[in-house]
Amino acid sequence: METTSKFKKYLVLGVLFLLPISIYVFFGTGVDNFGRLPVLVKNVNEVSAFKDINGDAVQLNERITVLGFFGTDALESKAYTYNLAHKIYSKYQGFEDFQFLILLPESARNKAKILTANLETITNTKNWKFAFGAEEEIDTVFKSLNSGYSLDSNSATPYVFIIDKEMNLRGRNDDEKAKDGMVYGYNSADVADINNRMTEDVKVVFAEYRLALKRNNKYKREI
């Protein structure tokens, strides 16, 4: 009886000791396996052929980017711009490595200045960039997304795209409401799409990089 009692005692202690560890491991691996936004297209074209409104170079590499194409009639995208600024940009504009990058033809420069002035009345535009280049260059960058969407005759689309620091297009490959489950971009003309899909997906990408940064810092401290 005494032996059986001791066995039960050690069994209970063992369970109490191992259970918290098991739960920690389960949820820790869950973050790695399920807390990532799928890479849909690798190696999106760099935007080195474009300059911003001040004439400075722009880039995708080492930036978390929301990439857009608002075309020659950029003022027609005013509603899209406000939707994105309120729902996405304002939440993350303080992060140094985050940017909104809207590619436009040279002919849209004055309209972009008007949009910038309008945006400055509601937010800090430091990380919101309009960049200009030839329509052929815009088309080249857009085609590298392999999104299945198309630009209209003005080099515009309401869809915007999440590009990670490694210049990969991020999105969804299992969305029940999307064709074939694939979500390559987010319709900035549709507030519901921004609120429901895009807000969540941008949040996931930032969570990934925060987790990676914590791990790198911990690794450096241990060294």
> For 34-67, what is each residue's pLDDT tens digit?
479 999 999 999 999 999 999 999 999 999 999 9
Tokens of 207: 């969570």
pLDDT digits (tens, 9 = 90+) for 78-131: 999 999 999 999 999 989 899 999 999 999 999 999 999 999 999 999 999 999
pTM of the model: 0.82
Q: Smallest Cα–Cα separation from 135: which of 166, 96, 108?
A: 108
Query: Which of 52, 42, 59 is CA-nearest to residue 97?
Result: 59
Distance of CA 67 to the CA centre of its chain: 9
